[in-house]
Amino acid sequence: MATIRKNITLKEEEAIIFNDYCKKTGQTLSELLRNSALKFIKEVEEMDLAEYIKLNCKKMDKAEGEEIAKIIKNIETDEDDEGVELTLDEIL
């Protein structure tokens, strides 16, 4: 498999933390960052929508909540329409 080289910018304090951890675990910096990023991506992609929203979205203020409640109250629903389940990929 071909490899690609990427540059990243780190604060000096971050580089020290990463390098110290790499020495303790016997990994290169590339291995640490690659493995950590892949693990994070897998965890996020396996989250259900509620977990994703809780982690990544700020809570709405009271006025916005009331506005949305009014909109929902005024929506006419079709009782024969059972709706469809959406995946996170479809929303994003």
Averaged in consecutive runs of 10 residues, what is the pLDDT profile of the chain (92 residues)? Answer: 92 97 96 96 88 84 87 68 78 80
Task: Using alpha carbons, select from 31, 29, 7 the residue that is nearest to residue 18.
Answer: 29
Which pLDDT value is given to residue 29?
96
- Domain coverage including residue 59: 12-74
- Looking at the structure of the chain, the number of domains it has is 1
**Alpha-carbon distance 18 to 33, whole Å?**
9
Q: Is 38 contained in some domain? A: yes
Q: Tell me, yes or no, whether 1 lies in a domain.
A: no
